[in-house]
Amino acid sequence: MRRKADELDKMRRAGKVVAEMHEATRAAIRPGITTRELDLVAREVLERRGAKSNFLGYHGFPAVICTSPNAMVVHGIPGDYVLDEGDLISIDCGAIIEGYHGDAAYTAGVGTISAEAKRLIEVTEASLWAGIDQLREGNRLHEVGRAVQKVAEAAGYSVVKDYVGHAIGTAMHEEPQVPNYWPGSPGPTLKTGMVFAVEPMVNVGTEETYVLEDGWGVVTQDGKLSAHFEHTICVTDDGPEVFTVA
Ligand code: MG
Ligand code: MG
């Protein structure tokens, strides 16, 4: 749906809080820190900004961020996992300001990482920006996924299809979905004031995933690395405006 100017202002503010959660957690990433400690860092940002969490309590999720190391794709529960030199860690954050949501994710290396891991991060982030560039008035929504898929597959990687992006506003997950691949139809026509969370999940190996016994963590079927980048973006008369940047 198309949001009004005052709604977009609130979403812009929520986006800034999410960007600050990214900055704070990124600065805290180091070998030896636990994912639970990263969750605490993110909680402090929410408190300082007077924002609510859209992750905490979502279908019973127990934290304000998701922390997904290495072969974990998304939805990891922060806990006792200790980050190790060479790990990849994907961190997904969200915030609510006056009822309006922001949602964004990034993947970072812990200390020195392999050339493959570094390339996966670069390709996944590039695929996100290729998708964002499609969020233009008059364009069709599924061009986003087509652009994401092109970048990821050109690098020899696969795009996860079990999980997708989404419209966002007064709820974190609104319709329509935003696939990270071409689903066979062009999808809705984009209009100024529409807001989406675009979030490619890119795997080094197979696109196939499964869910851990905790009911949350999503892991690659072959145990190979996965990365995840996400922003919340508005379609404007001047092109895409990314809300979840500092
Ligand atoms: Mg997210
Ligand atoms: Mg999302």
CATH number, domain of 74, equals: 3.90.230.10
Residue 215 — pLDDT band, cuts 50, 70, 90? very high
- Ligand 2: distance of its center to the CA of 73 in Å? 13
Residue 40 — pLDDT band, cuts 50, 70, 90? very high
pLDDT of residue 116: 97
pLDDT of residue 92: 98
- Ligand 1: distance of its center to the CA of 81 in Å? 20
pLDDT of residue 115: 98
Number of domains comprising the chain? 1
Residue 71 — pLDDT band, cuts 50, 70, 90? very high
Q: Ligand 2 (ion): which residues have CB within 5 A?
A: 103, 197, 199
Cis peptide before 176 (omega within 30 of 0): yes
Report, as an integer, the average pLDDT of 164-190.
Answer: 98
Mean pLDDT (the chain, rounded):
98
pLDDT of residue 221: 98
- Ligand 2: distance of its center to the CA of 67 in Å? 14
- Ligand 2: distance of its center to the CA of 87 in Å? 23
- Ligand 1: distance of its center to the CA of 103 in Å? 5
- Ligand 2: distance of its center to the CA of 100 in Å? 14
- Ligand 1: distance of its center to the CA of 55 in Å? 9
pLDDT of residue 202: 98
Residue 145 — pLDDT band, cuts 50, 70, 90? very high
CA distance 233 to 50: 22
- Ligand 1: distance of its center to the CA of 184 in Å? 25
pLDDT of residue 190: 98
CA distance 90 to 74: 7
Q: Which amino acid is at 190?
A: L
Report, as an integer, the average pLDDT of 147-162.
Answer: 98
Report, as an integer, the average pLDDT of 200-229.
Answer: 98
Report, as an integer, the average pLDDT of 239-246.
Answer: 97
Ligand nearest to the CA of 165: 2
| DSSP, res 52 | B
3-state secondary structure string, 121-162? HHHHHHHHHHHHCCCCCCCECCHHHHHHHHHHHHCCCEECCC
Residue 208 — pLDDT band, cuts 50, 70, 90? very high
pLDDT of residue 35: 98
- Ligand 2: distance of its center to the CA of 165 in Å? 6
Ligand nearest to the CA of 180: 2
- Ligand 1: distance of its center to the CA of 192 in Å? 22
Q: Which domain holds residue 201?
A: 5-242
